[in-house]
């Protein structure tokens, strides 16, 4: 699914850069943000199909960022990424409208499939 617009939000710069390059090579249009506040600023200027959002970040964490995204951009689908298997946080994020979640480091092919599924859901809801 070429051309899917993805915003990757994570405060681990090395991980973000590496994952963005891998997704870009698979035909996705990827932008990055180093945290929730920066992501919301970027989302005010550009639209995205799917957001990849780390749960544990310094400053504005993933749950607060998810809440703000869903308030301001309810049509966008959000896939949560976490290195910490905290069931309560995952359940909370799904209840708040996250599309799904994956454990970090996520298998890139599985992540691409999840992004494609989320993008198809967004597009079908937009019709």
pLDDT tens for each residue of 51-93: 999 999 989 999 999 999 999 999 999 999 988 767 888 888 9
pTM: 0.94
In this structure, how many other beta carbons lie within 10 angstroms of the beta carbon of residue 61? Answer: 17
The pair of structure tokens assigned to 19 is 């994952």
Residue 40 has pLDDT above 80, yes or no: yes
Q: What is the mean pLDDT of the chain?
A: 92
- For residue 110, the SS3 value is helix
Between 43 and 124, name the one with better pLDDT: 43
Percent of the chain with pLDDT over 70: 96
| Structural domains of the chain in order of their starting residue, each with its CATH number | 5-126 (3.40.50.2300)
């Amino acid at each position: 699914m070429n051309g899917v617009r993805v915003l990757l939000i994570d405060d681990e710069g090395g991980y973000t850069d590496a994952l963005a390059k891998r997704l870009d090579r698979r035909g996705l249009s990827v932008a990055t943000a180093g945290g929730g506040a920066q992501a919301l600023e970027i989302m005010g200027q550009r639209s995205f199909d799917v957001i990849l959002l780390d749960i544990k970040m310094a400053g504005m964490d993933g749950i607060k960022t998810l809440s703000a995204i869903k308030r301001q951009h309810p049509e966008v689908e959000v896939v949560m990424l976490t290195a910490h298997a905290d069931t309560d946080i995952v359940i909370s994020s799904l209840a708040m409208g996250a599309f799904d979640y994956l454990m970090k480091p996520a298998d890139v092919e599985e992540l691409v499939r999840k992004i494609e599924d989320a993008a198809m859901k967004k597009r079908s809801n937009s019709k």
